[in-house]
């Protein structure tokens, strides 16, 4: 099969490797689609925690959707033909030598676990979120379900309530998804911060009460004009020290800075001289797969009630043959929303 690999200098390459093997507790999956995510970009830039340079080259991709083509003898939760989320490829020295894995879903095949085949306490974490895509959901667009589940489960983890005031920095698919789901759970006071007029409008379209263009507006002055005492939450959906330092000036006493974006480096210089005396900084870079699975039914309910439309979050589709072009455009900020690779 073909897979997308990144080496330690950030160079991307499509290479041929063997189709993965699977155990009696697993199923083999033929990939249908996989979304490009900011996590992929951070790994390409050798900045993601847990992937030091000595672990490169790495197979990329973690927002995959595929069709089950073979099942192990102990598998009962899946059958051949099922469309499923999150097929991955693990490192395998016998099959792949020194090639390591950053989940490896940008591959023509992947593997899922059947959690029902494992004893309690032995279930791999990924298995909780490796779930079936219902027949009424478009299989290619289902890659967007991964972001939606992650974001909704993270909102619940952060403990954001409908009466809270929140500023959201970022204008990519993750920020837009946060704003959309925050509005669906009843949060009224959502302020979006984008870096272009086009993306500012995107945040308004997804439910922001107000949205500012950080290249044209003085963000601190504008938000303090509306909320002199600050807001309870500032969400960084990008992952930069610049945003976190700005957030210090926006939170109320005992307010909280929420970082869901993935920082490019594993250290930051922060200046909290402008922050209130009492505040919190909360990072979530790796959502719990069990919590993600528990968010799934609500996401499907919103889709079926026409409160969420997967295509609203997707702007580009690329065939796998054009994956290098897709990443070039993504890394050069030429993708407006989510880009999906199709197989």
pLDDT band at 286 (very low <50, low <70, confident <90, very high): confident
Nearest in space to 195 (alpha carbons), one of 215, 177, 209, 176: 215
Flag whether pLDDT at 273 surpasses 80: yes
Asked if 235 and 168 count as a contact pair (C-beta separation under 8 A), the reply is yes
Four-point Cα dihedral 328, 331, 332, 336, nearest 10: 100
pLDDT of 261 reads 76
What is the distance between the alpha carbons of residues 272 and 278, in angstroms, rounded to a whole number? 10
Flag whether pLDDT at 307 surpasses 90: yes
pLDDT of 78 reads 98
Flag whether pLDDT at 132 surpasses 90: yes
297-306 pLDDT, tens per residue? 999 999 999 9
Nearest in space to 256 (alpha carbons), one of 237, 287, 230: 230
Output the DSSP codes for 13-82: EEEE-PPPP--TTEEEEEEEEEE--HHHHHHHTT-STT--GGG-SEE----EEEEEEEE-TT--S--TT-
Q: Topology of 147-283 in CATH?
A: Rossmann fold (3.40.50)
308-327 pLDDT, tens per residue? 999 999 999 999 999 999 99
pLDDT band at 148 (very low <50, low <70, confident <90, very high): very high
Four-point Cα dihedral 10, 12, 16, 21, nearest 10: 60
Average pLDDT over residues 14-40: 97
Average pLDDT over residues 128-135: 98
pLDDT of 16 reads 98
Burial class (CB in 10 A: 0-12, 13-18, 19+), 79: exposed
pLDDT of 89 reads 98
Average pLDDT over residues 199-219: 96
Flag whether pLDDT at 285 surpasses 90: no
What is the distance between the alpha carbons of residues 16 and 216, in angstroms, rounded to a whole number? 47
Output the DSSP codes for 113-152: E-GGGSPTT---HHHHH--BPPTTS-TTTTHHHHHHHHHH
For all residues of the chain together, what is the average pLDDT? 96
Nearest in space to 149 (alpha carbons), one of 35, 309, 288, 33: 288
What is the distance between the alpha carbons of residues 190 and 167, in angstroms, rounded to a whole number? 6
How many residues belong to the chain? 343
pLDDT band at 171 (very low <50, low <70, confident <90, very high): confident
What is the distance between the alpha carbons of residues 328 and 33, in angstroms, rounded to a whole number? 18
pLDDT of 265 reads 75
SS3 93: helix
Flag whether pLDDT at 264 surpasses 80: no
pLDDT of 283 reads 93
Average pLDDT over residues 165-191: 96
What is the distance between the alpha carbons of residues 176 and 337, in angstroms, rounded to a whole number? 9
Nearest in space to 138 (alpha carbons), one of 311, 7, 274: 311
81-127 pLDDT, tens per residue? 999 999 999 999 999 999 999 999 999 999 999 999 999 999 999 99
Domain range list for the chain: 2-133+309-342, 147-283
Asked if 255 and 230 count as a contact pair (C-beta separation under 8 A), the reply is yes
Beta strands, E only, 97-230: 100-101, 109-113, 165-169, 189-194, 210-213
pLDDT of 331 reads 96
pLDDT of 263 reads 77
DSSP state of 88: B
Return the CATH number of the domain spanning residue range 2-133+309-342.
Answer: 3.90.180.10
325-341 pLDDT, tens per residue? 999 999 999 999 999 99
CB hemisphere CA count around 115 (13 angstroms): 15
Flag whether pLDDT at 168 surpasses 80: yes
């Amino acid at each position: 099969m073909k897979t997308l690999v990144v080496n330690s200098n950030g160079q991307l390459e499509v290479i041929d490797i063997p189709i993965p093997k699977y155990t009696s507790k697993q199923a083999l999956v033929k990939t249908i689609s996989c979304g490009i995510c900011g996590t992929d970009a951070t790994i390409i830039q050798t900045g993601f925690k847990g992937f030091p340079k000595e672990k490169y080259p790495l197979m990329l991709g973690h927002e995959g959707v595929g069709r089950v083509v073979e099942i192990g003898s102990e598998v009962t939760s899946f059958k051949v033909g099922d469309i499923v989320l999150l097929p991955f490829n693990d490192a395998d020295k016998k099959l792949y030598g020194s090639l390591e894995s950053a989940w490896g879903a940008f591959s023509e095949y992947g593997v899922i676990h059947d959690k029902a085949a494992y004893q309690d306490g032995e279930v791999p974490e990924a298995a909780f979120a490796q779930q079936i895509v219902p027949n009424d959901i478009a299989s290619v667009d289902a890659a967007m379900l991964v972001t939606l589940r992650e974001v909704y489960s993270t909102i619940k983890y952060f403990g954001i309530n409908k009466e809270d005031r929140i500023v959201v920095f970022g204008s990519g698919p993750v920020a837009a998804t946060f704003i959309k789901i925050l509005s669906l759970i009843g949060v009224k006071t959502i302020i979006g911060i984008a870096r272009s007029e086009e993306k500012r409008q995107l945040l308004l379209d997804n439910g922001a009460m107000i949205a500012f263009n950080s290249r044209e507006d003085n963000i601190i002055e504008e938000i303090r004009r509306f909320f002199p005492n600050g807001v309870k939450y500032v969400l960084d959906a990008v992952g930069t020290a610049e945003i976190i330092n700005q957030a210090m000036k926006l939170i109320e006493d005992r307010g909280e800075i929420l970082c869901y974006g993935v920082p490019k480096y594993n250290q930051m210089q922060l200046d909290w001289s402008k922050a209130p005396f009492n505040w919190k900084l909360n990072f979530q870079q790796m959502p719990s797969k069990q919590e993600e699975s528990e968010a799934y039914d609500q996401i499907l309910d919103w889709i079926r009630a026409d409160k969420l439309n997967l295509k609203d979050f997707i702007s580009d589709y690329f065939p796998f043959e054009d994956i290098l072009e897709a990443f070039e455009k993504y890394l050069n900020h030429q993708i407006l929303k989510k880009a999906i690779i199709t197989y």
